[in-house]
Amino acid sequence: MRNVLPVLTVLCGILVIWYAAAVWMNATWVHDQAERAGVTVTWAEVIPETMAQERPLLPPPHQVAAELWQGITGQAVTSKRSLVYHGYVTFKGTMMGFGLGILTGVLLAMAIVRYRVVEMSVMPWAVISQTIPIVALAPMIIVVSSQMGLTGRDIPKAIIAAYLSFFPVLVSMVKGLRSPDQMQLDLLRTYGAGEWATFVKLRLPASMPYFFASLKVAVAASLVGTIVGELPTGAIEGLGARMLIGSQFGEPLIMWSALFAAAILAGLLIVGVGAVERMVRLRMGVPE
Amino acid sequence: MKRLLTGAFLAALATGAQAEDVTLQLKWVTQAQFAGYYVAQAKGFYEEEGLNVTILPGGPDIAPTQVIAGGGADVVIDWMPSALAAREKGLALVNIAQPFASSGMMLTCLAETGITTPADFADKTLGVWFFGNEYPFLSWMSQLGLATDGSAGGVTVLKQGFNVDPLLQKQAACISTMTYNEYWQVIDAGITPDQLVTFKYQDMGVATLEDGLYVMEDRLADPAFQETMVKFVRASMKGWKYAEANTDEAAMIVLENDQTGAQTEEHQKRMMSEVAKLTAGSDGALDVAAAEKTVATLLAGGSDPVITAAPTGAWTSIITDKALAN
Amino acid sequence: MSDKPAHWTMETFATIQTMKFVAGAGVGVAAVAFADPGLAGILGFWVIACIINVWVVRFLGDFSHWLAPVLFGATVLLVWEMVVAVYAISPVILPAPSAIAAKIATSLPILWTDFAQTVLKGAIPGFLIGASAAFVTAILIDRSPFLQRGLLPIGNFVAALPIVGLAPILVMWFGFDWQSKAAVVVVMVFFPILVNLVAGLQASERMQADLMATWGASYWQALWKLRLPAAMPFFFNGLKIASTLALIGAIVAEFFGSPVYGMGFRISTEVGRLGLDMVWATIAVAALAGSALYGLITLIERGVTFWHPSQRH
């Protein structure tokens, strides 16, 4: 709670800067138009003009807020014009990619912890895979997966999202599965526990804090992947597609509102993952 | 991997068995440029022919030629230069119908840059679309003798994004526009037509054929596929003629099919009325003279021609002959 | 597995595991061979390669640290080559690695121009500007806990946002040349670095800070001698995350307008021209550039934070 005041102060500061920048950036257009029309304008006339342009260079906050509000509440949530609908499409893609990423990350981590050869041959490539810009691969992923009979855009989108989100899970899970110390492992051995029992009873529970710590990073990465997948690669619906259409038709308000909708979605996802984490921790009896 | 490949194989079998399913890959996002097909679907023209047509919208990273090469579509919409270039790369595409009679592409310049004739392009920055759409521009420039590699006396080429910002922000002296789309975005942005100078490719004598229907050559040998395409072209042209006659209704049909929900009625209605002007002269049959002129334009590409030899068998009238017979 | 006799060594156990694996894989390959001989060949090759790798790791000791990943990479490339050949995949869908290598060899000048435009002019300057800005901001707000408490949650939130979406807007603002690419990179890397550095500056232990105070160290002395060094592992963590983002940002921005060279331009244009070998060649360069950037930061980190437990081997 003690953060509320500072955060609000900073937010106010951002708003002030934003308004000032909007006036400054949008004024050029007003001046140009006035020049083309052959009239001179004073600043008193320019400022209101910069606040309500149809295609502003930088829309002032209230215009974005109004467009966002209109996009969310202006129509039924199932309408194609609703940001809620497109947010849901993006959310679905994010979740599919997130799930796939978790699965890949956890399975790879298990193989790595169990087999030294997997660790030595795969781990360096996992690191390199993250240095390959996903946007370069995205069109290729779509082509190759459609060649494999995976038509539709959902699966390629999920693969792109998973490509970004599996890595944080992998790294944390490897750390987590290795976190039990020798004493604990020895104790399990005295109980006569086999490899599988050690895994289920000791390694897996011990890795949980690491796992959840990685989820917040992974879900954010998954959202970025989904939007990248929707943006230049056959965007049909979703927030990324709206950004593209907004850009193509020179409608900055559509772009900005999609951007802020994506920000809200990111916030909700992180809060959601945090809530699940707390629930699991309580169930497992981990002290706060 | 194996299951996936088997899946692909089965999917390929399935499309072969049910010949009446047709998948159409558009060149770009859902908009009135493709109104004829959406109208044919909404008005049941495809259904009357016994076809079940799926229309796949395109996007910035979707090359129709690649989609059809991968078996993702039965028929694609593409521009002839791009299709011919793909043909030279070994992808045997054949034009079976040409709903767009004339070219809608132009170069739109700000009058304040002092450009009045194409000769004034020298040392200016020009915005061009790439992704297969750059071929007509490159041919034109090489006919004008203007280098496009950034050397002195030539033109500086800018890969413009999907909108008209480079012109509005004065980053380019001229940008590529379509009569039915981007030109009006410039006007909407508050610039009046007398502040603009436009060069239509059609008027400059360097027009190339735009939106045509292309299929793979090997499949065209199959009489059943031919029959399906005859039905498809017939119904599509019916859709186009309906759209031409009822532009507002056609625009609304397009809007209903726009899954992004970001398109506006105003844009689409205007686009539809402009597109109608381009399709007006065509009954679907390819004008061979226009196709040969496209080839000539592309071959005239100087040191860096788009295609190196005149193609053979790149278009056929067997579909339109049958489709227009009755 | 729990029924294994206790006197078995790990080694025997592993060998038996390998034999089981080989036997199982052999049966599987034989079964597939009836349905699809090509696939069987590929699978058989894969199994053999895996076994070789297992032996390399077991018997070659230190040598295997770099041999194992190289073998794995080579295996993947060979399998790719075989899949393309066996299934006669069209080069406009997926070119074979050999075709891509040939393309790289013949188009080095183009690849270099693209690399210079996107990485040297776009990503690296943007990365340096963004990192410096984050560094300065972190120091500036360091003296104001109020600002820190305000900025940190917001910074954390922004660091999780899909900033890529800003690319079309920044291209509109800064023009189509490298300036807009650098701007996208600056915005993308700023927050992850800032958040990590601010967290790092708070990481020095209370006791060490007290010690500094008893020695009468000024704020700047304490910052320079204790807190900045202590923050370095965090700072470098931020830099590593940002190095990947920098390349993504520079390439995405080129989708929305660019000169007629650059890696993003090449990828989006060549896909349209069905020049898939060129697309993959550019991807290879991007991977190389990304790995080199990451490697460079890791090297510098080793030099700067040699004292940190994570660097001790």
- What's the CATH number where A231 sits? 1.10.3720.10
A66 occurs within a structural domain: no
Please determine, for residue A84, whether its predicted confidence score (pLDDT) is greater than 80: yes
Distance (Å, whole) CA A231 – CA B324: 40
Domain C104-311 has CATH 3.20.20.70: no
DSSP class of residue A180 equals S
Q: Would you call A130 an interface residue with chain B, using a CB distance cutoff of 8 Å? A: no
> Are C238 and C192 a contacting pair, CB within 8 Å?
yes
Within 8 A of C157 by CB-CB distance, chain A residues are 263, 266-267, 270
Domains of chain B: 20-101+209-325 (3.40.190.10), 105-204 (3.40.190.10)
Highest mean pLDDT among A134-148, A243-257, B310-324, C32-46: B310-324
Q: Tell me if B158 and C176 make a contact (CB, 8 A cut-off).
A: yes
A39 occurs within a structural domain: yes
Tokens linked to B174: 């001229």
Distance (Å, whole) CA A42 – CA B307: 56
Within 8 A of C1 by CB-CB distance, chain A residues are 194-196
The larger pLDDT score, comparing residue C10 to residue B233, is at B233
For chain A, how many helices (H) and strands (E)?
Answer: 12, 0
Closest partner CB to B189 (pick from A55, A236, A242): A55
Distance (Å, whole) CA C264 – CA C268: 6
Q: Tell me if A120 and C157 make a contact (CB, 8 A cut-off).
A: no
Q: Would you call B193 an interface residue with chain A, using a CB distance cutoff of 8 Å? A: no
Tokens linked to C50: 């895996």
Predicted confidence (pLDDT) per residue in B143-175, tens digit: 888 887 777 778 888 888 777 888 887 888 899
DSSP C146-162: HHHHHHHHHHHHHHTS-
A96 occurs within a structural domain: yes
- Asked if residue A88 and residue A33 are part of one domain, the reply reads no
Q: Tell me if C147 and A258 make a contact (CB, 8 A cut-off).
A: no
A273 occurs within a structural domain: yes
Find residues 59-118 of chain A whose CB sits inside 8 Å of chain C: 116-117
A62 occurs within a structural domain: no
Give the pLDDT score at A208: 83
**pLDDT band with cut points at 50, 70 and 90 for residue C259:** confident
Predicted confidence (pLDDT) per residue in C268-293, tens digit: 888 777 888 888 999 899 888 888 88
How deeply is A242 buried, as exposed, middle or buried, from its count of CB atoms within 10 A (0-12, 13-18, 19+)? buried
Distance (Å, whole) CA C212 – CA C216: 7
Report CA-CA distances (Å) from A34 to A23, A46, B175, C165, C229.
16, 10, 23, 32, 56
A69 occurs within a structural domain: no
- Asked if residue A98 and residue A36 are part of one domain, the reply reads no
Distance (Å, whole) CA C26 – CA C17: 14
A76 occurs within a structural domain: no
Indicate the residue type of A137.
L
User: What is the rounded average pLDDT for all residues in chain A?
Assistant: 82
Q: What number of other Cβ atoms are within 10 A of residue C112's Cβ?
A: 13
Q: Would you call A236 an interface residue with chain B, using a CB distance cutoff of 8 Å? A: yes
How, if at all, do strands B212-216 and B93-97 pair?
Answer: antiparallel
**Domain coverage including residue A29:** 4-56
Q: What are phi and psi of C260, to 5 degrees?
A: -90, 35
Q: What ipTM does this complex have?
A: 0.78
Distance (Å, whole) CA B197 – CA B205: 17
Q: In the 3-class helix/strand/coil scheme, how is C175-191 assigned residue by residue?
A: CCCHHHHHHHHHHHHHH
A146 occurs within a structural domain: yes
How many domains does chain A fold into?
A: 2
Distance (Å, whole) CA B223 – CA B227: 6
Q: Report domain extents, chain C.
A: 10-89, 104-311
Find residues 149-168 of chain B whose CB sits inside 8 Å of chain A: 161-165, 168
The larger pLDDT score, comparing residue C304 to residue C284, is at C284
Predicted confidence (pLDDT) per residue in C109-167, tens digit: 989 999 999 889 989 999 999 999 999 988 888 888 788 888 888 887 787 777 777 88
Predicted confidence (pLDDT) per residue in B113-139, tens digit: 888 888 888 888 888 887 767 878 888
Within 8 A of A49 by CB-CB distance, chain B residues are none
**pLDDT band with cut points at 50, 70 and 90 for residue C15:** low
User: What's the whole-number mean pLDDT along residues B7-12?
Assistant: 46
Q: Note the Cα B31 to chain centre separation in Å.
A: 12
Give the pLDDT score at B4: 46
Q: Region of B98 please: left (phi>0), alpha (psi -120 to 50) or beta.
A: beta
Distance (Å, whole) CA A262 – CA A224: 9
Give the pLDDT score at C186: 93
Please name the residue of chain A whose CA is at the shortest distance from the CA of residue C53: A117
Predicted confidence (pLDDT) per residue in A100-116, tens digit: 999 999 999 998 888 88
